[in-house]
């Protein structure tokens, strides 16, 4: 239905990221002068984002409302939910709420960005409620591939909104902490205005396997290994690390932690009591040479084949302290993130070239997902029984299929709203509609630059990477129009110059002929000269080699006439 102008004061829900994409999760909840944010995640660059380190949400629409922001609420500690915080908190600085491990990871990030002590961090336990302006938020325990994940029951003047965060229903979690279905059911009985639920695994039928199955796989693999074992996993997956530790101890192996984030996250988890590791089980890198191979287990980062990661350097025989040898076993204990398949495949090939045996999710149960599959998603829908359903966290097809799944359990199609980033979904008097669109988008982080690289620069980088660059150096007397230097032509990524001198000489003659046809007035205007030279060279390269190199004419080579 259409909401009238007076209804604009109702509840508004606006995603700034995380819809139609994997990562970049950020959601706004607004009522009157109060605004809260759920999650503040990053996204790793897509293949076309050449040179970009990470991507963060555009928060331009928030900058004029800083004083209205009552808090940032974090569902869990994965990078796609907390990774943008150090950048965003330089622009806005409300209190940040989360569970203990989540804030432990956040605190480590803030130290790295020299923001320690500049941000108020508030630790919240599951089933506790926090007041934030007109909102009241209850944390609800959920199982996921990281410890201390939570859903939120957000109490608003228009009704309760449930935000699941990332979740699965694991009946045998490693830490014994079950998804709190009783609380979801309680809210379902009391009445829920809207449910926002994770759509990542909506294409998978049945139920997601329990994390304990990975431990069983480790117990099956470890005793059969005759040499060293290297397990690559996400450093945030504390349950996975715990299970590797336990399997190593049972197999009589010592454990070496490798990778900066792995060492830091395990330290934080130990300090907070989320992982139980006896000091006698851990070894230092310098102890490695003195131990028999059959007593060594390493846990490392780099399961996605990241170029500078520890595992990639080991696979390429480029690690100073760790050399892979025939008979070693490597276990990639994480999912293949979409887009990384070729990189991971290359990594596995290099590991085999070193003589290692490799286990990964396609050949063994060394990884299970942390996201709910179809039957679990149906269960949450049936427990909560929302008036409105808004699928979140996933590519567009995931959102559509989740809405269809909701229809199957009885939620009318007209009460399923498929949002896109920037949509303002308004709720008033039990009704809802997409009311508006706010400024949103992606901000690229390249080195120390934040937002100074845009789509045009990326397009230029793509152009350079595909077609190369040609530099034309010309010196012209601005008063007489006489050519006093060049034209010289230098190419990079177009043709191999040593083998193509005749080709580049032909290009130089084309430029020279162009210059000879220009009158003195045009030759005295460098902008005109550049345009003419670019035009003839573009035509030449297209005709001769069917390529479109970037053509540059350095302006410094223009000379003014001087008198003796």
User: Which residues, 6+ apart, have CB-to-CB distance to 412 below 8 Å?
Assistant: none
Q: Report the C-alpha gap between 134 and 11 in whole angstroms.
A: 11
- Token reading at 401: 């299929």
Task: Calculate the CA dihedral of residues 198, 204, 207, 211 and round it to 10 degrees.
Answer: -80
User: Which residues, 6+ apart, have CB-to-CB distance to 405 below 8 Å?
Assistant: 202, 374, 377, 378, 381
Q: Where are the alpha helices (DSSP H) in 373-454?
A: 374-384, 396-408
Q: Report the C-alpha gap between 287 and 300 in whole angstroms.
A: 16
User: Which residues, 6+ apart, have CB-to-CB distance to 54 below 8 Å?
Assistant: 42, 43, 44, 45, 83, 445
Task: Calculate the CA dihedral of residues 162, 164, 169, 172 and round it to 10 degrees.
Answer: -110
- Token reading at 546: 């069917």
Count CB atoms within 10 A of the CB of residue 488. 14
Maximum CA extent, the chain: 95
Q: Which of 80, 198, 446, 477 is catalytic?
A: 198
| Phi, psi dihedrals of residue 57, rounded to the nearest 5° | -70, 150
The strand pairing partners of 135, in sequence order, are 132
Are the CB atoms for 30 and 14 separated by under 8 Å? yes
What separation in angstroms does the CA of 39 have from each of 57, 167, 431? 11, 14, 26
β-pair type (469-476, 550-552): parallel
Nearest residue to 152 (alpha-carbon basis) of 96, 94, 195, 185: 195
Residue 198 is a catalytic residue = yes
Residue 371 is a catalytic residue = yes
Helix-, strand-, coil-residue percentages of the chain, each rounded to 5: 35, 25, 40
H helix or E strand, kind and range, residue 557: none
DSSP single-letter state for residue 394:
B
Burial-class residue 481 by CB neighbours within 10 Å (0-12, 13-18, 19+).
Answer: middle
CA-CA-CA-CA torsion sign (116, 119, 122, 123)? negative
| Phi, psi dihedrals of residue 345, rounded to the nearest 5° | -60, -45
Q: Which of 371, 393, 398, 402 is catalytic?
A: 371
Burial-class residue 338 by CB neighbours within 10 Å (0-12, 13-18, 19+).
Answer: exposed
Are the CB atoms for 440 and 525 separated by under 8 Å? no
Would you call the peptide bond into 346 cis, given omega within 30 degrees of 0 as the criterion?
A: no
Instruction: Write down the number of H helices and E strands in the chain.
Output: 15, 25
Annotated active-site positions, please? 198, 371
């Amino acid at each position: 239905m259409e909401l009238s102008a007076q209804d604009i004061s109702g509840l508004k829900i606006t995603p700034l990221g995380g819809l139609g994409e994997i990562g970049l999760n950020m959601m706004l909840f607004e009522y009157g002068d109060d605004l809260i944010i759920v999650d503040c995640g990053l996204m790793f660059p897509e293949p076309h984002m050449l040179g970009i380190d990470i991507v963060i949400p555009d928060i331009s629409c928030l900058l004029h409302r800083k004083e209205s922001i009552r808090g940032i609420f974090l569902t869990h500690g994965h990078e796609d939910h907390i990774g943008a915080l150090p950048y965003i908190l330089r622009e806005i600085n409300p209190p940040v709420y989360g569970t203990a491990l989540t804030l432990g990871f956040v605190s480590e990030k803030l130290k790295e960005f020299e923001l320690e002590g500049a941000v108020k961090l508030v630790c919240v336990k599951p089933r506790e409620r926090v007041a934030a302006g007109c909102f009241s938020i209850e944390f609800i325990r959920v199982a996921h591939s990281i410890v201390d994940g939570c859903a939120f029951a957000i109490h608003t003047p228009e009704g309760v909104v449930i935000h699941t965060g990332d979740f699965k229903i694991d009946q045998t979690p490693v830490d014994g902490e079950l998804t709190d279905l009783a609380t979801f059911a309680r809210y379902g009985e009391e009445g829920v205005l809207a449910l926002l639920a994770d759509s990542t695994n909506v294409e998978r039928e049945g139920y997601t396997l329990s994390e304990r199955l990975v431990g069983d796989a480790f117990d099956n693999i470890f005793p059969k290994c005759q040499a060293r074992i290297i397990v690559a996993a996400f450093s945030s997956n504390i349950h996975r690390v715990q299970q590797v530790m336990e399997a190593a101890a049972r197999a009589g192996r010592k454990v070496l932690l490798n990778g900066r984030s792995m060492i830091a996250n395990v330290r934080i988890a130990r300090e907070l009591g989320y992982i139980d590791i006896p000091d006698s089980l851990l070894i230092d890198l310098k102890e490695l040479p003195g131990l028999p191979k059959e007593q060594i287990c390493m846990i490392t980062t780099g399961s996605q084949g990241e170029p500078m990661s520890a595992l990639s350097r080991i696979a390429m025989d480029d690690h100073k302290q760790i050399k892979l040898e025939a008979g070693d076993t490597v276990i990639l204990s994480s999912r293949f993130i979409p887009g990384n398949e070729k990189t991971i495949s290359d990594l596995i090939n290099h590991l085999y070239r070193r003589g290692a045996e490799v286990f990964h999710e396609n050949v063994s149960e060394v990884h299970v997902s942390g996201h709910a599959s179809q039957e679990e998603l149906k269960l949450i829908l049936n427990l909560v029984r929302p008036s409105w359903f808004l699928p979140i966290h996933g590519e567009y097809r995931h959102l559509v299929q989740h809405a269809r799944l909701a229809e199957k359990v009885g939620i009318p199609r007209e009460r399923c709203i498929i949002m896109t980033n920037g949509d303002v979904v308004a709720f008033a008097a039990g009704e809802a509609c997409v009311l508006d669109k706010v400024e949103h988008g992606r901000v690229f982080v390249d080195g120390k630059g934040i937002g100074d690289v845009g789509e045009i620069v990326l397009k230029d980088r793509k152009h350079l990477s595909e077609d190369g660059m040609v530099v034309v150096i010309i010196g012209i007397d601005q008063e007489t129009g006489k050519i006093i230097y060049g034209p010289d032509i230098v190419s990079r990524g177009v043709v191999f110059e040593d083998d193509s001198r005749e080709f580049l000489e032909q290009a130089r003659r084309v430029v020279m002929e162009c210059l000879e046809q220009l009158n003195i007035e045009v030759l005295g205007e460098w902008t005109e000269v550049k345009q003419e030279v670019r035009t003839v060279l573009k035509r030449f390269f297209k005709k001769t080699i069917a390529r479109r190199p970037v053509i540059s004419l350095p302006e410094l080579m223009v000379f003014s006439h001087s008198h003796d």
